[in-house]
Copies of this chain bind each other. A is one copy, B any other.
Amino acid sequence: MTNNIRKRLAATAGVVTLGLGLTVNAVSAENLDEVMARRGLSQQDLLAAAKTYTPSGGRDEFIVFSSGGQSGQVIVYGVPSMRILKYVSAFTPEPWQGFGFDEESKAILESAKVDGREIQWGDTHHPAITETDGDLDGEWLFINDKSAPRIAVISLHDFETQQIVVNPIMQSEHGGAFVTPNSEYVIEAAQYPGVLGRGFAPLSEFNEKFRGAVTYWKFDREAGRIQPGQSFSLELPPYSQDLSDAGKGVSEGWSFTNSFCAERYVGGIELGRPPFEAGCSQADTDFLHVINWRKAEEVYKAGKVTMINDHPVIMMDTAIAEGLVYLIAEPKSPHGVDVSPNGEYIIVGGKLDTHGSVYSFSKIQAAIEAGKFAGTDPYGLPIIAMEDAIHVQVPLGLGPLHTQYDSRECNVFTSLYVDSQVVRWDYCEGKVLDKISIHYNIGHLVAMEGEGVNPKGKYLISLNKLAIDRFNPVGPLHPQNHQLIDISGDKMELLYDMPIPLGEPHYATAIAAEKLKPLVRYRYGTNSRTGGKHEGAVRPGQERIERDGTHVKVYMTAIRSHFTPEIVEVNEGDTVEFIVTNSERAEDETHGFAVSTYNVNLSLEPGKTATAKIVADQAGVFSFYCTEFCSALHLEMTGFLVVKPEGYQEASAEISEGTSYTQADYDKQYQTNLDTQAVIDSVVAYITGRNFKDFPEVVSLVEDAVDQLNFAAEARAKAEETAQAGDWQNATLWAGQWWQYQVKAADIGLRAKTFLDEHGAVVVE
């Protein structure tokens, strides 16, 4: 029956068009008007569809990196198509990516323990892309964990988490991650106050012993790593610090952190006291913290710090003496603090106020230089009077939260939580320009590169909360709703509703797609979590099993469609490490690796090496297999881990054959292969007879096909060698393997041929 493939290949290679019979009950296709009528679409809907629909193979103009909220992941999606491209594991183990399942990523999670506790999730809030001169550069992504004070570092080359740092002094945090204009530092501000260093003090000593803080994590761009040894923090009052932003342009060297619950209320509803929400929202204002981080860096380097958990902290008395921190009143329970592209303006929204408050950096500087303060807070920090710092306050609506900048000068967008609206306004002139209603309560919003020095305008995304009636219902836990808004005209226009199927995003950041330069494949034998060469990587032919006492290391390769070795024998109780290298070059040939009934799964993209480690604590025979549908023989990409019971002695090591083959079987297979090769040759001729070198995709495919044909030649040599020895069993099977490589080559060849046909390749001499 294998002849059928041969015949079919021949038909394809000959470019014979099949004469397909028409059905009797022919149905004519709908036209556009009919479709619109059937689906109830308006002209406006059709325009929105045209603005967002992206045909097969089309590319998005912008890429959004959104926090995944409590999922502990980062969500990557395209604009304007609003299609989610990837969930990247940041803090939560995720088996598809192998994160938390291979030993390499487990090492990262090990370093992410807090005070010795393993934490298998994160409450991600604010992603930030590295910047060069204040411009988003698309090299690295940072994301914070509110629940445990941590920052993850994600490479935007391979979209993998490569580092997690634990804040040494905070109890929780919220205001991370924000980067300085050249990514010198990643800013992380505390949320709920605690004893610095996570010590104990009773709540009765809250005002005296509890503190907030802001940490400046030094980022080493060359290494792609945060350097905890070069990072420092500032002690702050026990207000709940919230979001931050780094100054840029005229305000470069400064950073801004807002806060809520400057009332320092400690709750107690169970005692009959009003709850936190009342006590933390009673005062009309909270405090914006204005921090000179460049000067703080000097103070830290001068050693004027207190070490807490081996981490240098500039205490408040030093900060006051050195002039590092200033406070300014800001409207009640603010959430966003956002610096304008030129660095002169800082916009704050107060959730329980109705204004956008625009602070002027030059006014702030003037007050500081003049030593003009309205007093000090209870901890002695100087307070700048609001009227000395404000450029303008603009009534925007109910519940202003967060602001993003437009490409149009002086234009800005602010989310209105209670009104469920986005407002466009002019922060120079202080006037509202436009409003649009969204569905429903909006948290953050993101404009394209809306936090950089060069905002791109065009699109805005409103990050709306639980979408009760926007989509088909899927139970009591609703998706969130990210609404795409066209901001290219004067009137904002709603284009698209995108459900978020997993997690509750808080903040997102968007970058021009052209700035991203992701890897296509790894250098051979890469440990993706370090970016370096994996010490356990092996080339085909070097595979081996090494035993050291009860510790067994299996140096393995994976290629479609087999692992080497296939049979691994160990003893009950052994620790077994499978160190697997994907030896493919084709970029879509990811393999997986799992051992049945064990808690391991690897994602092995081409070139990657990763380790599955298990304790073989149960006698038995366990299948390992490829968990990615990699080829037609994917299900056959398997092997056995034989775990021998303690004291077991095998009677016979001879493998019994389920099926026996004869010379006739060999001859039949051999002839099939010769026929198949003739067909492959004709496909090759078709491809090489066209300008395939003008298509990089096809050049890759051809390289891969050549690999497969070389493997076929090796298998053929083995077949002929064993046939020579009269071993018809192995000769037939090797001939079969030769044919398998031919099929793989044919698969690739047909894809290349189709690509050439679809892309207008031409015949060459």
A561 at interface by CB-CB < 8 Å: yes
A667 at interface by CB-CB < 8 Å: no
A726 at interface by CB-CB < 8 Å: no
A618 at interface by CB-CB < 8 Å: yes
Within 8 A of B (CB), among A259-310: 260-271, 273-285
Nearest neighbor of A475 in chain B, beta-carbon distance: B159
Contact residue among B94, B277, B501 (Cβ-Cβ distance under 8 Å from A636): B277
The 17 listed contacts between A and B (C-beta, < 8 Å) are A1-B331, A12-B419, A56-B470, A56-B494, A59-B471, A70-B627, A86-B502, A94-B502, A96-B502, A120-B599, A263-B659, A269-B566, A270-B565, A277-B562, A441-B629, A476-B606, A476-B607
Within 8 A of B (CB), among A101-136: 101, 114-115, 117-123
Given contacts A121-B101, A395-B4, A635-B174, whether A70 and B204 have CB atoms under 8 Å apart is: no
Contact at A171–B747, with CB atoms within 8 Å? no
A60 at interface by CB-CB < 8 Å: yes
A172 at interface by CB-CB < 8 Å: yes
Question: Measured between alpha carbons, how far is A30 from B8 in the docked complex, in Å?
Answer: 49
A372 at interface by CB-CB < 8 Å: no
Question: Measured between alpha carbons, how far is A268 from B734 in the docked complex, in Å?
Answer: 12
A87 at interface by CB-CB < 8 Å: yes
Q: Mark A628-661, 1 if CB is under 8 A from B, else 0.
A: 1110110111111011110010111111111101
Contact at B278–A27, with CB atoms within 8 Å? no
- A53, A59, A656, A715 interface centre (most CB from chain B within 10 Å): A53
Given contacts A96-B69, A564-B270, A632-B351, whether A653 and B204 have CB atoms under 8 Å apart is: yes
Contact at A18–B476, with CB atoms within 8 Å? no
Contact at B606–A158, with CB atoms within 8 Å? no
Contact at B50–A36, with CB atoms within 8 Å? yes
Within 8 A of B (CB), among A472-496: 472-479, 483, 488-491, 493-494, 496
Which of the segments A39-47, A247-255, A339-347 contacts the partner chain? A39-47
Contact at B479–A599, with CB atoms within 8 Å? no
Question: Measured between alpha carbons, how far is A542 from B58 in the docked complex, in Å?
Answer: 58
Question: Measured between alpha carbons, how far is A414 from B377 in the docked complex, in Å?
Answer: 73
Q: Mark A700-723, 1 if CB is under 8 A from B, else 0.
A: 000000000000000100100000
Which of the segments A71-79, A219-227, A315-323, A446-454 contacts the partner chain? A71-79
Question: Measured between alpha carbons, how far is A474 from B238 in the docked complex, in Å?
Answer: 41
Contact residue among B472, B561, B746 (Cβ-Cβ distance under 8 Å from A78): B472
A173 CB to nearest B CB, Å: 9
Contact at A23–B433, with CB atoms within 8 Å? yes
Within 8 A of B (CB), among A1-55: 1-2, 4-5, 7-9, 12, 18, 20-23, 25-32, 35-36, 39-43, 45-55
Question: Measured between alpha carbons, how far is A733 from B282 in the docked complex, in Å?
Answer: 7
A539 CB to nearest B CB, Å: 15
A757 CB to nearest B CB, Å: 9
Question: Measured between alpha carbons, how far is A280 from B625 in the docked complex, in Å?
Answer: 14
A260 CB to nearest B CB, Å: 6
A414 CB to nearest B CB, Å: 14
A198 at interface by CB-CB < 8 Å: yes
A511 CB to nearest B CB, Å: 11
Query: Which residues of the partner chain B approach A94 to less than 8 Å between Cβ atoms?
Result: 71, 92, 502
Given contacts A23-B490, A472-B78, A477-B603, whether A194 and B123 have CB atoms under 8 Å apart is: no
A398 CB to nearest B CB, Å: 6
Within 8 A of B (CB), among A514-569: 516, 518-522, 543, 545, 561-567
A745 CB to nearest B CB, Å: 11
Nearest neighbor of A486 in chain B, beta-carbon distance: B29
Contact residue among B68, B95, B206, B332 (Cβ-Cβ distance under 8 Å from A72): B95
A406 CB to nearest B CB, Å: 11
Within 8 A of B (CB), among A330-356: 331-333, 335, 350-355
Question: Measured between alpha carbons, how far is A701 from B503 in the docked complex, in Å?
Answer: 25
A21-B433, A202-B650 given; 18 more Cβ-contact pairs under 8 Å: A1-B353, A5-B354, A23-B408, A31-B47, A46-B53, A48-B55, A117-B598, A172-B597, A263-B659, A265-B657, A266-B655, A267-B566, A267-B638, A277-B740, A283-B659, A468-B587, A468-B588, A504-B629
A193 CB to nearest B CB, Å: 9
A56 CB to nearest B CB, Å: 5
Within 8 A of B (CB), among A435-478: 435, 437, 439-441, 443, 465-478
Query: Which residues of the partner chain B approach A625 to less than 8 Å between Cβ atoms?
Result: 172, 192
Q: Mark A171-182, 1 if CB is under 8 A from B, else 0.
A: 110100000000
Within 8 A of B (CB), among A419-440: 419-420, 426, 431-435, 437, 439-440
Contact residue among B27, B566, B740 (Cβ-Cβ distance under 8 Å from A281): B740
A605 at interface by CB-CB < 8 Å: yes
Contact at A159–B474, with CB atoms within 8 Å? yes
Contact residue among B51, B198, B466, B747 (Cβ-Cβ distance under 8 Å from A418): B747
A762 at interface by CB-CB < 8 Å: no
A235 at interface by CB-CB < 8 Å: no
Contact at B588–A490, with CB atoms within 8 Å? no
A168 at interface by CB-CB < 8 Å: no
Contact at B658–A264, with CB atoms within 8 Å? yes
Given contacts A269-B566, A275-B566, whether A194 and B623 have CB atoms under 8 Å apart is: yes
A736 at interface by CB-CB < 8 Å: yes
Contact residue among B353, B501, B736 (Cβ-Cβ distance under 8 Å from A86): B501
Q: Mark A679-690, 1 if CB is under 8 A from B, else 0.
A: 000000000000
Query: Which residues of the partner chain B approach A53 to less than 8 Å between Cβ atoms?
Result: 41, 45-46, 48-49, 52-53
A233 at interface by CB-CB < 8 Å: no
Contact at A605–B268, with CB atoms within 8 Å? no
Given contacts A53-B45, A472-B60, whether A352 and B148 have CB atoms under 8 Å apart is: no
Contact residue among B100, B122, B466 (Cβ-Cβ distance under 8 Å from A590): B466
Query: Which residues of the partner chain B approach A333 to less than 8 Å between Cβ atoms?
Result: 632-633, 635-636
Question: Measured between alpha carbons, how far is A118 from B614 in the docked complex, in Å?
Answer: 12
A399 at interface by CB-CB < 8 Å: yes
Contact residue among B8, B192, B618, B754 (Cβ-Cβ distance under 8 Å from A623): B192
A471 CB to nearest B CB, Å: 6
A385 at interface by CB-CB < 8 Å: no
